[in-house]
Amino acid sequence: MTMPLMRPKRKNPVLRTQQMNLPPAQRGRVALGITAAAAEGRFELQQCEDCGTVQYPPREACHKCLSARLRWRAQSGEGELCALTTLHHSNDLFFRERLPWRLGLVKLDAGPTLVVHLHGEVGEAPARVRVGARLDRAGQAVLIGFPNEGSPHMADDKMLREMTSDPKFRKVLVTDGKTPVGQALVRALVQAGADIVWVGHAEPWKKTGGLEDITALPQVTLVPLDLTNGRSVSELAGEIGGKVDIVINNAEVHRTFGIGSRRGTDVAKAEMDINYFGLLRLAQEFGPALKGRSADGVTSATAWVNLLSVYALSNFPPHGTFSASKAAAYSLAQCLRAEMRPAGIRVINVFPGPIDDEWNQHMPPPKLAPAGLASAIVKALRDGVEDVYPGDVAQEWLERWRDNPKVLERELAAGG
Amino acid sequence: MSKSRRLSYEGVAVAVPVTVPYVRYSTHTAHWFIGQALAALVKESGIPKNEIDGLCLSSFSLVPDTAVGVTQHLGLSPRWLDHVPTGGASGVMCLRRAARAVQSGDADVVACVAADTNHVDSFRQTLGAFSNFSRDATYPYGSGGPNSIFAFITANYMRTYGARREDFGRIAVDQRTNALANPNALFKKALTLDEYMAARPISDPIHLFDCVMPCAGAEAFLVMSEEKARDLGLPHVVIRGAIERHNAFAEDPVMVQGGWRMDRGDLYAQAGIQPKDVDFIQTYDDYPVIVMMQFEDLGFCEKGEGPAFVREHGLTYAGSFPNNTSGGQLSVGQAGAAGGFLGMTETIRQLTDQAGQRAVKDAELGLVCGFGMVTYDRCLCTGAVILGRSE
């Protein structure tokens, strides 16, 4: 049983905030295949296309038949714990600061032997375990041995909480509380145990539905935030930047036009100003504060979430300028991820298909319900993944894009 | 066990064991220790440097240099050169290669040298970049180095065969007794079983005295023809048999046996002896569990009988089954690759009456084992050689 995490005491402001020492981040190119899968929440190992051997650690050839035809294949992770050890000494600062630390040696039913981080609920060897892949604080995949049947509080395991960005007891900024998605996010975060949810609202004189309801929640505080205004972003960062553990940037402008259906660039500029420059302003102001608190105890700063769009992968002409702004934001988010990774802050990019809101009124179903998107984002935080494609449409587009981006481009030009 | 059809090592002499005194930390580079080892070989053999025409080297901390760079660094011009990357197995493997070079006439006098320096942060830096697999699949998991891997192996062995910590303690305690008779050992204080048991945990069930202490130093010896050794009046030993194996028993989920087991029939057949004929053994002692495995895998007892074997035998130089008479790496220190040579120089000393106080009485045959290179979840290189007194 994992002891449920207790609300940490208030921080002593006199003490120095512990700084991050990342776990070892070096990996060979082949080994990054595990990271690529883990970034989307999958556990994959190399399997030989010729003889079927599953192997680990990753290699350049099949160690059985020497074939170079190796494919990454999803694994069930079922296996047997052969031995475990508790480290009381480590040569690396990250682990040294977190001792004791449990490790296991697992023989997968699929074949190979794995060294894994061991969840606290896994008992003495021999024991049946389930291995999964997670991203560690360095943003690289590591394997974790989970108990076959976990307890309700298993997410609070000390080791696992280092690998995830669970909102429980954390302080979150949602940049736009006026949209259905923003309001669904606030509710989902409160339900997930967030300590404080700061909710941005631009142009406070404009009353919109639903805002009162979420403001009534005791965890919620409305804060003025206009991402088009550098001073507004800067002022808010000065006020709460040093306390925010998770930033969720859901503010967006979405208009349904391509190039020929509208004259001028005003609307496209408005989209870029929020969707791209808004992210840039936010990252410049809140990024450094988050980085400085990434090792600040069990409720450290931990993650940055960008609400992008699956249209960022390939332009959807009926929403052409919106797609372009999201593609720009996606590119910037990759830069943000690279800059946040050395501090151990995870950047989660969310690529939904059409959301069931007023700007997708003409899109046929299936459309992603705001509550569904919100729960996908909370799940991503809890699972510690970094790329999320929520909903059936996003999943289908992703599959088509991976299969052949050029074919998808032609299909989208023809209407979808 | 297949009958050995390999060429014997007849006519080859192994001589001039030298040790460059160990220090915990050194500001010198590996080149310094190699230089001092070669100087000692020249001085003690009387063979001029330019007549050493073969060099077989093992070192971790020499990077980015290899044996090639060392020739220019130390002004050597050998006609035969090898760099053996098998770490703890390099003593056996350098000897095997050098012996064949001498037998074939490719070299007349081969200097086998293992040397490493140890700066204050060397060990940590070595661990993170030790192998592709360790970078990808073990170092990110707690960064315990080999301690955590051997913790798995030890825990599994204890569970499978009923070994207790006390059994491993006997190995460590007796080796410390041996070390007290070795002036070069870095550990100068006796170790009791109580102290062993009370040591702080490092990676359960591995505790402090199950681990070697990294240090700086060098070990070296010369390989030449018996004829030459006799002409020069150099005390020497002969090679009765030698084996090596890499990546053995890869299908075992956890290491419970080493490659020695695969080739021991060949080893004893080549030497024309039985395990009981061996007078002492120099096991590779990175961790006591591996010492116990060598007792089993080299045929001194059955698999799983290691704990009982240890309880029934005295393992000091004066005991019924002398093991690691120098004190081994557990009590002398592990000078990087030189740890793979420690058993070799000690055995040459034992069989040429240079072991002083710790001499094994009437010893004629010594078994030296090598074990090297944890690239992922086990050590890959195993080797063993039986050395005998020259006629």
Query: Which positions in chain A touch B140 (Cβ < 8 Å)?
Result: 23-25, 27, 136, 138, 140, 142
- Same domain for A109 and A248, yes or no, is no
User: pLDDT for A14-58, tens place per residue?
Assistant: 888 899 999 999 999 999 999 999 999 999 999 999 999 999 999
- Which residue on chain B is closest to A95 by alpha carbon? B142
- B191-219 in b/e burial notation, b at 16+ Cβ within 10 A? beeebbeebebbbbbbbbbbbbbbbbbbb
Q: Are A83 and B147 a contacting pair at CB < 8 A?
A: no
Q: How confident is the model at residue A358 (pLDDT cuts 50, 70, 90)?
A: confident
For chain B, say whether A26 makes contact (Cβ under 8 Å): yes
Q: Are B142 and A90 a contacting pair at CB < 8 A?
A: yes
> For residue A157, is it within any domain?
yes
CA distance B16 to chain A (A): 38
CA distance B331 to chain A (A): 20
> For residue A26, is it within any domain?
no
- Which residue on chain B is closest to A137 by alpha carbon? B140
For chain B, say whether A123 makes contact (Cβ under 8 Å): no
Q: Could you tell me where the DSSP H helices lie in A293-391? A: 320-340, 370-383
A133, A161, A189 — which closes off a domain?
Answer: A161
Quick one: pLDDT at residue A205? 78
Q: Are A244 and A303 in contact (CB under 8 A)?
A: no
User: pLDDT for A84-112, tens place per residue?
Assistant: 999 999 999 999 999 999 999 999 999 99
A118, A143, A161 — which closes off a domain?
Answer: A161
A161, A192, A208 — which closes off a domain?
Answer: A161
> For residue A408, is it within any domain?
yes
Q: Are A138 and B140 a contacting pair at CB < 8 A?
A: yes
- Which residue on chain B is closest to A29 by alpha carbon? B136
- Cα distances from A297 to residues A8, A11, A76, B69, B277, in angstroms, run 9, 10, 33, 49, 61
> For residue A21, is it within any domain?
no
* Mean pLDDT (chain A, rounded): 95
A306: CATH:
3.40.50.720
- Same domain for A139 and A191, yes or no, is no
Handedness of CA A269, A271, A273, A275 (dihedral sign): negative
For chain B, say whether A24 makes contact (Cβ under 8 Å): yes
- Above 60 in pLDDT, residue A5? yes
- Distance (Å, rounded) from C-alpha B147 to C-alpha B152? 9
Mutate to test the interface with B, among A32, A55, A91 (most CBs of B within 10 A): A91
Query: Which positions in chain B touch A31 (Cβ < 8 Å)?
Result: 135-137
Query: Which positions in chain B touch A94 (Cβ < 8 Å)?
Result: 143
> For residue A17, is it within any domain?
no
Closest CA to A347 of A338, A360, A358: A338
CA distance B122 to chain A (A): 11
Phi-psi label, residue B328: left if phi above 0, alpha if psi -120 to 50, beta otherwise: left
What's the structural domain count of chain A? 2
Q: At what angle do helices B342-351 and B90-104 cross, to 10 degrees?
A: 60
Quick one: pLDDT at residue B280? 98
- Same domain for A54 and A145, yes or no, is yes
- Same domain for A46 and A106, yes or no, is yes
The full 3-state SS of chain B, as one line of letters, equals CCCCCCCCCCCEEEEEEEEEEEECCCCCCHHHHHHHHHHHHHHHHCCCHHHCCEEEEECCCCCCCCHHHHHHHCCCCCCEEEECCCHHHHHHHHHHHHHHHHHHCCCCCEEEEEEECCCCCHHHHHHHCCCHHHHHHCCCCCCCCHHHHHHHHHHHHHHHHCCCHHHHHHHHHHHHHHHCCCCCCCCCCCCCHHHHHHCCEEECCEEHHHCCCECEEEEEEEEEEHHHHHHHCCCEEEEEEEEEEECCCCCCCCCCCCCHHHHHHHHHHHHCCCHHHCCEEECCCCCHHHHHHHHHHCCCCCCCCHHHHHHHCCCCCCCCCCECCCCHHHHHCECHHHHHCHHHHHHHHHHCCCCHHHCCCCCCEEEEEEEEEECCCCEEEEEEEEEEECC
- Same domain for A145 and A181, yes or no, is no
- Distance (Å, rounded) from C-alpha A52 to C-alpha B291? 37
Quick one: pLDDT at residue A361? 87
Query: Which positions in chain B touch A90 (Cβ < 8 Å)?
Result: 142-144
Q: Are B152 and A82 a contacting pair at CB < 8 A?
A: yes
Q: At what angle do helices B288-297 and B146-161 cross, to 10 degrees?
A: 50
Tens-digit pLDDT string for chain B (391 aa): 455 579 999 999 999 999 999 999 999 999 999 999 999 999 999 999 999 999 999 999 999 999 999 999 999 999 999 999 999 999 999 999 999 999 999 999 999 999 999 998 887 777 777 899 999 999 999 998 899 999 999 999 999 999 999 999 999 999 999 999 999 999 999 999 999 999 999 999 999 999 999 999 999 999 999 999 999 999 999 999 999 999 999 999 999 999 999 999 999 999 999 999 999 999 999 999 999 999 999 999 999 999 999 999 999 999 999 999 999 999 999 999 999 999 999 999 999 999 999 999 999 999 999 999 999 999 999 999 999 999 7
**49-78 in chain A: CB under 8 A from chain B:** 56-58, 63
Quick one: pLDDT at residue A170? 97
Percent of chain A with pLDDT over 70: 100
Q: Which helix (H) or strand (E) holds A162?
A: helix A158-163
| CA B317, chain centre distance (Å) | 17
Nearest CB to A82: which of B124, B142, B156? B156
Query: Which positions in chain A touch B128 (Cβ < 8 Å)?
Result: 24, 26, 91-92
Residue ranges making up the domain that contains A47: 32-161
Q: Are A141 and A331 in contact (CB under 8 A)?
A: no
Q: What is the CA radius of gyration of chain A?
A: 22
Nearest CB to A88: which of B139, B153, B200? B200
- Same domain for A205 and A315, yes or no, is yes
Q: Are B159 and A83 a contacting pair at CB < 8 A?
A: yes
- Same domain for A180 and A199, yes or no, is yes
- Same domain for A143 and A96, yes or no, is yes
Q: How large is the average pLDDT for residues A197-214? A: 87
- Distance (Å, rounded) from C-alpha A222 to C-alpha B62? 62
> For residue A72, is it within any domain?
yes
What does the block give as tokens for B52? Answer: 């050493």
> For residue A227, is it within any domain?
yes
Quick one: pLDDT at residue B1? 45
> For residue A101, is it within any domain?
yes
Nearest CB to B143: which of A91, A105, A107? A91
Query: Which positions in chain A touch B159 (Cβ < 8 Å)?
Result: 83, 125-126
Nearest CB to B254: which of A31, A83, A91? A83
Query: Which positions in chain B touch A126 (Cβ < 8 Å)?
Result: 159
- Same domain for A284 and A386, yes or no, is yes
Quick one: pLDDT at residue A206? 79
Quick one: pLDDT at residue B3? 52
Sheet holding A54-55, edge to edge: A54-55, A44-48, A70-74
- Distance (Å, rounded) from C-alpha A51 to C-alpha A56? 15
**ipTM for this prediction:** 0.94
- Same domain for A331 and A274, yes or no, is yes
Q: Are A56 and B137 a contacting pair at CB < 8 A?
A: yes
- Same domain for A196 and A104, yes or no, is no
Number of inter-chain CB pairs under 8 A, A vs B: 127
- Same domain for A229 and A357, yes or no, is yes
Q: Are B61 and B116 in contact (CB under 8 A)?
A: yes
- Distance (Å, rounded) from C-alpha B18 to C-alpha B52? 15
Q: Are A345 and A291 in contact (CB under 8 A)?
A: yes
Query: Which positions in chain B touch A138 (Cβ < 8 Å)?
Result: 140
User: pLDDT for A207-227, tens place per residue?
Assistant: 777 888 899 999 999 999 999
- What predicted TM-score, i.e. pTM, was given to this entire model? 0.95
